[in-house]
């Protein structure tokens, strides 16, 4: 389940930032670099998840799954950015 969530989160973030790069008229050679670089962002999700769990919007199991998903997506996107640069 976590692997699917990580893949889905990375895909959504990548496509969103790829679209933003096209809208802002970046050069085509910069689309992927921009999308991979921005996909690494996600630290604020930890704050939101903690806040939601503290206010019982999320149960402990769901909160833990989301924290793992966000953490792994940040790590994986760093590797993808490095691969894109090479």
Express each pLDDT in 25-47 by its tens digit.
888 778 778 777 776 677 888 89
Q: Name the residue with tokens 């989301």.
A: 66
- Residue 26 CA to residue 41 CA, distance in Å, equals 19
11-26 average pLDDT score: 87
Measured from the Cβ of residue 56, the count of other Cβ atoms closer than 10 Å reads 8
pTM (2 decimals)? Answer: 0.76
């Amino acid at each position: 389940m976590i692997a699917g969530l990580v893949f889905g989160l990375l895909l959504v973030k990548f496509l969103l930032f790829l679209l933003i790069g096209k809208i802002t008229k970046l050069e085509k050679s910069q689309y992927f670099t921009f999308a991979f670089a921005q996909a690494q962002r996600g630290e604020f999700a930890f704050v939101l998840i903690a806040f939601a769990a503290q206010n019982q919007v999320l149960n402990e199991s769901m909160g833990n799954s989301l924290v793992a998903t966000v953490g792994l997506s940040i790590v994986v996107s760093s590797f993808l950015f490095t691969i894109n640069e090479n």
